[in-house]
DNA sequence: CTCGATGCAAAATTTTTGCAGTCCC
DNA sequence: GGGACTGCAAAAATTTTGCATCGAG
């Protein structure tokens, strides 16, 4: 429950180093977007991120958020979680070590992240049979709460988009 | 290489029966869209489908294609293949028996369908731990041709979107 | 200073929708 | 003949882009 001190945040420094290594500039807006992403409790959309980043630095624009997302993704500090909606979700890589699968509840829209370490092996096996090299992979299960009406779900996680 | 006779096509009849069972009407446009989908060699987008359907019945409109797609999906005659692009892909269920994973070549953009029968089991295992019931699942591997420049791929399958 | 980064607003893309006319059953 | 279906064009919704200005290094 303690508010992390940005100046002491090693991940924050990692991002700055990444920017430097790519000759990208460390701007207030980029750092606000970074802080917003790592302040998210859960998965978030570009629009969620814009709102939260603006709460930190009101000058952040939508365009800058969209321009920052590929940078954050490339740096491996956040990951894209495409669950087949019209828009994409993202999540901060806080302490992810193994491959994650997503279980998406179609009733409450909650996205659960599940460890699926065997996937690392699976993707390589399948790709190598085709002579290809794995770049990325995703495993997603859409599921519903049995006995629940659409829209109301028993999971205490009835908080879809942050 | 023989042109299938629509009147003898059992899958075509299945679609008509599906429409009847749902009290939906058998219109020229819907059948043209159906024929277009089953005439596709590979994965296709809504726009691809519109083009091909219009070649059969020039009166088919984009709106009707978009309205037909959920019907074809519900009938299980085609399936949605979301590979994380801005637009969705579809594929006719010609003779699919087991769960299919997709390997997407990031160089030639070709989508390979791979049998992954164990996924049926995997999804249920993971979902049941959360007390959920599987609705759908997808497993996708993005991979690239090693040694190829982006855009040119050695796979003879250098035909991305039909 | 210089050139990358930003904000704004317009544009681009894919999909959806309202409405008046059409045609299946 | 009635209501479902269709085409058209406008609308939605998300993401991208052009351009003048700003600011990090």
The integer distance in angstroms from the CA atom of B63 to the C1' atom of D11 is 13
- CA pseudo-torsion sign B42, B45, B51, B55: positive
Asked if the Cβ–Cβ distance from A141 to B133 is below 8 Å, we say no
- CA pseudo-torsion sign A34, A89, A76, A103: positive
With 0-12 / 13-18 / 19 or more C-beta atoms within 10 angstroms meaning exposed / middle / buried, residue A37 is: buried
CA atoms within 13 Å, Cβ hemisphere of A47: 5
pLDDT of residue A108: 75
With 0-12 / 13-18 / 19 or more C-beta atoms within 10 angstroms meaning exposed / middle / buried, residue A40 is: middle
The answer to whether the beta carbon of residue B21 comes closer than 7 angstroms to any atom of strand D is no
Assess A106–B contact: CB distance below 8 Å, yes or no: yes
* CA distances, B22 to each of A13, B14, B15, B18, B78 (Å): 59, 12, 11, 6, 17
Q: Tell whether the model's pLDDT for residue A156 goes beyond 50.
A: no
Instruction: From chain A, pick out residues whose CB is under 8 angstroms from the CB of B146.
Output: 131-133
Asked if the Cβ–Cβ distance from B137 to A132 is below 8 Å, we say no
pLDDT tens digits for B63-106? Answer: 999 999 999 999 999 999 988 788 899 999 988 788 999 998 88
pLDDT of residue B146: 76
Instruction: Please tell me the total number of residues recorded for chain B in this structure.
Output: 162
Instruction: From chain B, pick out residues whose CB is under 8 angstroms from the CB of A139.
Output: 122, 137-140
Q: What is the mean pLDDT of residues A14-20?
A: 96
Quick one: pLDDT band at residue A2, thresholds 50, 70, 90? low
Judge whether B143 and B104 are in contact, CB under 8 Å.
yes
Asked if the Cβ–Cβ distance from B140 to A138 is below 8 Å, we say yes
Assess B135–A contact: CB distance below 8 Å, yes or no: yes
pLDDT of residue A91: 95
User: CA–CA separation, B20 vs A24, rounded Å?
Assistant: 60
* CA distances, A48 to each of A56, A61, A97, A114, A161 (Å): 13, 13, 25, 23, 8
pLDDT of residue A11: 92
Asked if the Cβ–Cβ distance from A135 to B144 is below 8 Å, we say yes
pLDDT tens digits for B5-57? Answer: 455 688 999 999 999 999 999 999 999 999 999 999 999 999 999 999 999 99
B117 vs A5, residue with greater confidence? B117
Judge whether B94 and B38 are in contact, CB under 8 Å.
yes
Which of B104, B130, B131 to probe the A interface (max A CBs under 10 A)? B130
pLDDT of residue B158: 32
pLDDT of residue B157: 38
pLDDT of residue A73: 95
Q: What is the mean pLDDT of residues A1-17?
A: 74
The integer distance in angstroms from the CA atom of B24 to the C1' atom of C18 is 21
Asked if the Cβ–Cβ distance from A135 to B146 is below 8 Å, we say no
pLDDT tens digits for A45-91? Answer: 999 999 999 999 999 999 999 999 999 999 999 999 988 788 899 99
User: CA–CA separation, A102 vs A91, rounded Å?
Assistant: 12
The alpha carbon of residue B79 is apart from the nearest alpha carbon of chain A, in Å, by 13
Assess B112–A contact: CB distance below 8 Å, yes or no: yes
pLDDT of residue B74: 93
B127 vs A68, residue with greater confidence? A68
pTM: 0.82
Instruction: From chain A, pick out residues whose CB is under 8 angstroms from the CB of B154.
Output: 131
DSSP letters of A33-61? HHHHHHH-SS-EEHHHHHHHHHHH-TT--
User: CA–CA separation, B32 vs B38, rounded Å?
Assistant: 10
User: CA–CA separation, A53 vs A72, rounded Å?
Assistant: 14
pLDDT of residue B155: 53
What dihedral angle (degrees, nearest 10) is formed by the CA atoms of A97, A99, A100, A101?
Answer: -170
Alpha helix positions (H), A57-98: 62-74
Angle at the Cα of B4 (from B1 to B10), degrees rounded to 5? 140
The alpha carbon of residue B88 is apart from the nearest alpha carbon of chain A, in Å, by 9
Instruction: From chain B, pick out residues whose CB is under 8 angstroms from the CB of A145.
Output: 131-133
For chain A, the C-alpha Rg in angstroms (whole number) is 18
CB crowding B85-110: b at 16 or more within 10 Å, else e: eeebbbbbbeeeeebbbbbbbbbbbb
Asked if the Cβ–Cβ distance from A146 to B133 is below 8 Å, we say yes
Q: Which residues contact A45 (CB under 8 A, 6 or more apart)?
A: A87, A88, A89, A90, A161
- CA pseudo-torsion sign A106, A112, A117, A121: positive
Q: What is the mean pLDDT of residues B123-134?
A: 89
User: CA–CA separation, B9 vs A37, rounded Å?
Assistant: 53
Angle at the Cα of A99 (from A98 to A105), degrees rounded to 5? 120
């Amino acid at each position: 429950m303690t508010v992390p001190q940005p100046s002491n945040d090693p991940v924050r420094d990692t991002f700055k180093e990444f920017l430097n290594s790519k000759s990208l500039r460390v701007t207030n807006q980029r750092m606000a977007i970074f802080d917003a992403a790592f302040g998210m409790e859960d998965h978030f959309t570009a629009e969620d991120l814009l709102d939260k980043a603006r709460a930190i630095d009101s000058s952040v624009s939508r365009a800058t958020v969209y321009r920052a997302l590929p940078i954050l993704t490339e740096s491996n500090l956040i990951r894209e979680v495409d669950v087949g909606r019209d828009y994409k979700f993202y999540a901060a890589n806080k302490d992810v070590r193994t491959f994650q699968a997503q279980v998406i509840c179609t009733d409450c829209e909650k996205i659960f992240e599940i460890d699926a370490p065997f996937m690392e092996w699976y993707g390589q096996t399948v790709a190598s049979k085709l002579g290809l090299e794995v770049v990325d992979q995703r495993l997603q299960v859409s599921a519903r709460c049995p006995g629940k009406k659409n829209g109301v779900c028993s999971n205490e996680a009835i908080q879809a988009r942050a």
